[in-house]
A and B are shown apart, each in its own frame.
Chain A
Amino acid sequence: MGVIRYFQQFFNRNGLVLSSLLLGAVGFWIVFLIVLPQVFMLDFSFRFNLPPADLGGPKDVYTLSNYEFLMFGSPNNPEPLNVVDLSVFLRTLLAAVFVTLFDLVLCYPIAFYLAKSAQGGYARLMVLSLIVPFWVNEILRAFAFRILFGSTGIINAFLIWIGVLSEPMDFIQADIALYAGLGYAYILLMIFPLYNAIESLDTNQIEAARDMGAPWWRIHWRVVIPFAKPGITSGCTMVFMLSAGALAAPQILGGPSSLWFTQIIYQWFNTGGNWPRGSAYAIVLLVTCIAFVLLMMRLFKVKLGAIGR
C-alpha cells in the first residue's frame, strides 16, 4: 500500500509525462544496464562452452563444471586444487586489501587537512590539483607510471643521484609500480568520502577534546575517526571493489610473474574464447568481494546505509 501511495504522490507532484520519463530512465538503467547483464552472466556461468550449432540443443544443459574448474582445475590436474588460479585469486584479494589500506593511510591526513586546516582558496587549489591528473585517461596514466618507474625513469634517476641506489631498481618486477599505480588510480574515491565525513564534524569537538588534554592521536582515535566511519567505509568499499576488479593497471604495470585475477577472466573471455568459464570466474570474484565487504562492515559495526552517504 505504501508503495502505491508513494507512486501516486510522485505522479501528482511531477505530472504524467515527466514522471513516466523519470521512472522509465531509472527503470531502463536498472534493468538493462545492471540487472540483465548480471543475470546473463550468472546464466552463462552455469552452461557448457558449446559451439553455436549446439546452443539450445540437447547438450545445452546447466552444469557446475566452470566453478569446478576454478576449484579443482582440469580433470588431469595432479594437484588436489586448482592452485594456479586460486592463488592468483587470493593474491588479488590480498593486494586489493593492501591497496585499500594504503589509500586510507595516505588519504586520511589529506582529507583531514582539507576539511579542517586548509584556508578557503588554498583548499580549492589543492582539490583542483588532486582532480586535474584524473582528466587524463586511466590507461595513459598507467603508462605514465611505467615511464616514471622504468629503469631509466625519473625515480630511479633520482634515487641513484642521491646515492640510495647504485644501479636502477626494477620497480615493475617488484610490483611496486603496480601498487603505486592502483593506489593512485583510486585516490579520489578515498579522499572525497573521507573529506565529506570529516568536514561535517563540528570543529568544537576537536577543540573540546584538545582542551581536555587529549594528544592529537587520541583526538583522531576517539573523536574524528568514529565520526568519519561512514566515510571510511564508503571510501574503502569503493577502492577495494575497484582495485580487485581493475584490469588496465595490472595489464600495463604488472610484472611478468604477477597475474591479477581479472586478467585470467579476460583471458577466458578473449583469447580462451570460453565465455561461460569467464563468467563463472567473474561471478566468484564479485560474490566474494561483496561478501568480504559485508563481513568487514559487520566487524566494524557499520550499517549498509552508511555507504550511500
Chain B
Amino acid sequence: MSAGVELDNVWVRFGEFVAARDVNIEIKGGEFFSFLGPSGCGKTTLLRTVSGFLEPSEGQVRIGGKNMAGIGPNRRPTALIFQNLALFPLMSVWENIAFALEVKGVSKSERRKRADELLDLIALAGQGDKQVSELSGGQKQRVAIARALAAEPEVLLLDEPLSALDLKLRQHMRTELRTIQQRVGITFIYITHDQGEALTMSDHVAVMREGVVEQVGDGNTIYDRPGTAFVASFVGENNMLPGHVAEVGDSHAVVATEYGSIRARASAGSLSKGDEAYVFVRPESLNFADQTNRFDNELHAAIVQEEFEGNLWQVYLALPDDRRMTLSMVNDGRALSHPPGTGVKLGFDAGLAVALPKGPLAAE
C-alpha cells in the first residue's frame, strides 16, 4: 500500500521564526520524492510535519487524502528514518526490526519470522541475533530501513540517512535505496542537502530556500530548466553573468551585460525589458570559440588555471573585470596547455544558457 502526501498552504512557525512558508506540494503514491536544500532551509521541519512530530501553524497535511490534523506520529501511516538512525542499542538486530510488530502485539514467533523476511530483503539474512553495535555503518543503515518497513508504512520518510556514511558506501546505498523503494512500492520522502543524492534517486525534487519551495520538478528539469536564480546556483555548478534585460522574445531574452549582449532562454512572462537579470551557463555548456567554432554568444576571457581530473578538464577563467568562470570539457586525449594569462574566446549557444530574474543565490 502506498499513499500520496499533500501539503496545502502549510506554514510552520517557531515564535517569530518562519520555518516553512506557504508550502504547496503534491506527492503521488509510490513516488520517490526529495526535498533538497542547504541546512536550515526548513526541509527537516516539513518532514517532521508530515510524520506528526510537528503540527503546521497553518494549512493542512493530507496522507492518502486524509487530513492528519491532531493525529500523532504513532497513529500516522508513516515511518521515519532518523539522520543518526536511532537504532535501539540494547535490543538485538531482529528485535529492533520487529519493534513495530511488538507494539502491535504480534506473537514472538511471528515477529521473528517477519524480521527474518525483512533481513532477507536487506541482504542481512542470518544476522538477526547480532547486537546493533556489531554491524558496520552500511548494515546499520539497512537495519534502520528494515525496522521502518516492518511497521508497513504507506509513506517512508528519510532524514539525510546517508550523510554519516563514507563516499563509496553512500553511492552504493543510493542504488540500494532506489531498489528497495521499487521493490516495496511505497512512497519515499527523502531529505538531503546533497544534490547528487536527490538527482540520482528521485522521481521529483523540491528545492527549498529559507522555508520556501523554490521549484518542484524531476531531476532533468531542475538541472536544465531552473526556475529561479537560487535553484540555478544551488543545483550543480553554474556560471553567472549579471545584466539588464534588453529584449524579450517568446522563449528567449537578450541580456545586456558588461561582457556584451547575451542571448539566453527565458520562459515567457518571467522577464520584462529593463529588469535586472542573471544569465546562467553550465561549465559543460561553455566552449572555446575560434574561426571555425562559432557560437551565439562569445566572450573574451583569460586562462587562470587548468586542472586535469581524468575524465574531465576543468578550466578556470577570468573575464575582463576578474569575474570567474569555469569551463569543463571531456578529456578526448588532446592535452590542454594554455599558460595562465592566455587570452581566449568563450562561446555558448543561447539554448544552453538561461536568463532568470535577479534573486538570492546559494551561498558558496
Contact = CB atoms under 8 A, between A and B. Distances in A.
Interface of A: 202, 204-205, 207-215, 218, 222-223, 226-227
Nearest to A204: B86
A-B CB proximity, top 4 nearest: A204-B86, A212-B100, A208-B86, A204-B82
Nearest to A218: B103
Interface of B: 51-53, 72-75, 78-80, 82-84, 86, 88-91, 99-100, 102-104, 147-148, 151
A111 B32 CA distance: 41
Q: In this complex, which of A204, A212, A218, A222 has the most chain B Cβ atoms within 10 angstroms of its Cβ?
A: A212
Contacts of A222: 88, 91, 99, 102
Contact of B79 (A204, A212, A215, A223): A212
Nearest to A208: B86
Contact of A204 (B72, B74, B84, B90): B84
Q: In this complex, which of B74, B100, B148 has the most chain A Cβ atoms within 10 angstroms of its Cβ?
A: B74
A215 B73 CA distance: 11
Given A205-B88, A226-B90, A213 B74 contact: yes
B103 A214 contact: yes
Given A202-B86, A204-B86, 15 more contacts: A205-B88, A207-B80, A208-B86, A209-B88, A211-B74, A212-B99, A212-B100, A212-B103, A212-B148, A213-B75, A213-B103, A214-B103, A222-B88, A222-B99, A222-B102
Contacts of A215: 74, 103
A60 B87 CA distance: 65
Contacts of A227: 89-90
A309 B115 CA distance: 34
A210 B82 contact: no
A207 B72 CA distance: 11
Q: In this complex, which of A204, A207, A209, A211 has the most chain B Cβ atoms within 10 angstroms of its Cβ?
A: A211
Contact of B82 (A207, A214, A223): A207
A113 B103 CA distance: 24
A209 B91 CA distance: 12
B73 A209 contact: no
Contacts of B72: 210
Given A202-B84, A205-B88, A214 B99 contact: yes
